[in-house]
Amino acid sequence: VIPLFIVVFIQSSAEELLCRGFLYQRLRRGYKNPAIAVVGNALLFSLLHAANPGVSQLALLSIFFVGLLYSLMVYYCDSIWMPMAAHAAWNFTQNIIFGLPNSGNVSPVSIFKLDASTAMNSFSYDVGFGVEATIVAIAIIIVSCIIVYLWGSKNNKKPTEIWN
């Protein structure tokens, strides 16, 4: 299981390095308003997943909001490690532990196996894309965005521009 986690962490971290380590930082330096970097990066993150198997409008909306969440984490915490950890934990839990599709991709190796022949779409699961293409996931991600925003605002967290 540990080697699988390392592989998932590397894959998830590579996405985070591209999206939050490079694209977000370029947008952040290019525009005065940090909201442009946060929202723009979330849009780019969802576009990177647009060709995934089983993608739908709901899936892209969910990925947009998770991109927003990860960008807010970087903005308020001045660290890429938090979104790297959150992204790896999500992918590992979905793919390796539960054997569910993650962004439309199913791992050939998992602890538990989903019987795809009996799986059905519901408000909390999408057969083709996974948990993240559901209203429940979107609601949880939006609540998480609000929590990070309120925490950052309440504690007067501002980026220290360590990325310059």
Q: Which pTM does this prediction carry?
A: 0.91
Task: Determine the length of the chain.
Answer: 164
Cβ(71)–Cβ(42) below 8 Å: yes
Q: Is 104 left (phi over 0), alpha (psi -120 to 50) or beta?
A: left
User: What does DSSP assign to residue 125?
Assistant: B
What pLDDT, in 10s, does the model give residues 103-120? 988 888 889 887 767 889
pLDDT of amino acid 163: 54
pLDDT of amino acid 161: 62
Q: How far apart are CA 123 and CA 112, in angstroms?
A: 21
Q: Is 130 left (phi over 0), alpha (psi -120 to 50) or beta?
A: left
Q: What is the CA radius of gyration of the chain?
A: 16
Q: Is 53 left (phi over 0), alpha (psi -120 to 50) or beta?
A: beta
Q: How far apart are CA 77 and CA 58, in angstroms?
A: 28
- Mean pLDDT of all residues in 5-21: 95
Q: For the chain, which residues make up each domain, given as ranges?
A: 2-154
What pLDDT, in 10s, does the model give residues 34-70? 999 999 999 999 999 999 999 999 999 999 999 999 9
